[in-house]
């Protein structure tokens, strides 16, 4: 049995809506599906405005550009995250300032943020990792104290809730990805959410080469813009996916419950967290493995070779990435380093079945038993 880690599921109105795009000839970045997708997704999350863009990284970049982040500015980010958060800051010639993770949620540690704030700090990027929300209240408090913007990287957290409120609607800007392995997909694509009228207008302008709204000045540009548009076809797929988002979330949560039940007696497998104030959507079912008689990387290779199971290592912390390590060579982040060394994602996509979860769990338990650690 070949088990993929996170295949999408296109079982709704995707073909119908895309066919409508083709038959109407509206296939590029203008068309009714772009507007509909922006409206419906922002409504789902609970934000006033949605601005669709070409992917999750461009969402982060545009968010930073819209608030004026530039040279000499600093932006606080977690070191344990996908590299896009750091790259987006560097695109603006600003400096990513790193913070360690907290042990329970694996997200940025709120109590370590204030010590990293300087007179150059402009914003905080929080990343809701693997479907679990960041503990936002203390971060909102410190951001207000110092007059900082909060950008939520919710690329992995569609439908995730913090104290009953969906993430992506808590900070000044919320950024989402719709890559093929995400909770809902447009193939490639992203969106920025905000309640701020001024920021929404700025985002729309920068997304589209900073064209001037006045007809006679249409090709006159007064600032640097970008071609970060989403196509009508992609938005049509996204709208159809959005119609099934709660079904997909229930699937992920059910898969997580099944995995948890199968691993509950193995003390050396750390299960994914869910705080009392959280709804974890378990975008990726992620575990930590220690003292199993085989390294995390060894498990990944053996599961692929012997069982045809596709798994992934968790993120390499930013300060250990080859491109960034010289800039942070004197910095240590022990929690993030442990997460990056021992974490692995198991198959848990929208097309993953109960039978596949049982197969994956049994394979992992067999390897553990062979190692003499079960």
220 has pLDDT over 90: no
Is the pLDDT score of 215 beyond 70?
Answer: no
Does residue 300 have a pLDDT over 70? yes
How would DSSP label each residue in 172-206?
A: SEEEEE-BTTSSS--BS-EEEEES-HHHHHHHHHH
Residue with the bigger pLDDT between 374 and 204: it is: 204
What is the mean predicted confidence (pLDDT) over 138-156? 98
Question: Looking at the structure, do residues 65 and 154 belong to the same domain, yes or no?
Answer: yes
Same domain, 258 and 227: no
- pLDDT at position 10 over 90: yes
pTM of the model: 0.97
The answer to whether residue 293 scores a pLDDT higher than 70 is yes
| Beta pairing, strands 95-99 & 74-78 | parallel
319-345 residue pLDDT tens? 999 999 999 999 999 999 999 999 999
Q: Which residue from 238, 247, 249, 248 is spatially nearest to 36, judged by alpha carbons?
A: 238
CATH of the domain at 295: 3.90.1150.10
What pLDDT score was predicted for residue 176? Answer: 98
Distance CA 193, CA 63 (A): 9
Answer yes or no: do 48 and 59 share one domain: yes
Co-location of 237 and 249 in the same domain: no
Find the domain containing 133 and state its range: 14-242
Q: What integer best gives the mean pLDDT of the chain?
A: 96
- pLDDT of 182 higher than 80: yes
What is the per-residue pLDDT across 49-103, written as a single tens digit (0 to 9) for each? 999 999 999 999 999 999 999 999 999 999 999 999 999 999 999 999 999 999 9
Q: Are residues 231 and 331 in the same domain?
A: no
For range 132-159, the mean pLDDT? 98
Domain for residue 8, yes or no?
no
């Amino acid at each position: 049995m070949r088990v993929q880690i996170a295949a999408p599921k296109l079982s709704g109105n995707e073909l119908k809506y895309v066919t409508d795009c083709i038959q109407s000839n509206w296939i590029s970045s203008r068309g009714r599906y772009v507007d509909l997708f922006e409206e419906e997704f922002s409504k789902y999350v609970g934000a006033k405005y949605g601005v669709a863009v070409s992917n999750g990284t461009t969402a982060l970049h545009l968010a930073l550009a819209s608030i004026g982040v530039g040279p000499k500015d600093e932006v606080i980010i977690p070191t344990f995250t996908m590299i896009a958060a750091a790259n987006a800051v560097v695109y603006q010639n600003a400096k990513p300032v790193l913070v360690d993770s907290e042990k329970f949620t694996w997200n940025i540690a709120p109590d370590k943020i204030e010590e990293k704030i300087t007179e150059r700090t402009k914003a905080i990027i929080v990343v809701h990792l693997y479907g679990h929300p960041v503990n936002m209240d203390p971060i909102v408090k410190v951001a207000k104290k110092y007059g900082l913007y909060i950008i939520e990287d919710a690329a992995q957290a569609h439908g995730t809730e913090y104290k009953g409120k969906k993430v992506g609607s808590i900070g000044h800007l919320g950024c989402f990805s719709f890559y093929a392995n995400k909770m809902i997909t447009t193939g490639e694509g992203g969106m920025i959410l905000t309640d701020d009228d001024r920021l929404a207008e700025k985002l729309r302008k920068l997304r589209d080469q900073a064209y001037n709204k006045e007809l006679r000045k249409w090709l006159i540009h007064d600032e640097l813009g970008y071609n970060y548009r989403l196509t009508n076809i992609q938005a049509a797929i996204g709208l159809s996916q959005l119609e099934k988002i709660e079904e997909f979330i229930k699937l992920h949560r059910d898969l997580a419950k099944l995995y948890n039940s199968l691993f509950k007696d193995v003390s050396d497998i750390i299960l994914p967290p869910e705080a009392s104030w959280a709804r974890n959507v378990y975008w990726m079912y992620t575990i930590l493995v220690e003292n199993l008689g085989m390294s995390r990387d060894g498990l990944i290779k053996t599961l692929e070779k012997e069982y045809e199971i596709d798994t992934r290592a968790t993120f390499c912390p930013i300060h250990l990435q080859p491109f960034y390590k010289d800039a942070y060579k004197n910095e240590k982040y022990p929690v993030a380093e442990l997460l990056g060394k021992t974490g692995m994602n198991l198959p848990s996509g929208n097309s993953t079945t109960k039978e596949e979860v049982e197969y994956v769990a049994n394979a992992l338990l067999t390897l553990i038993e062979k190692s003499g650690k079960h």
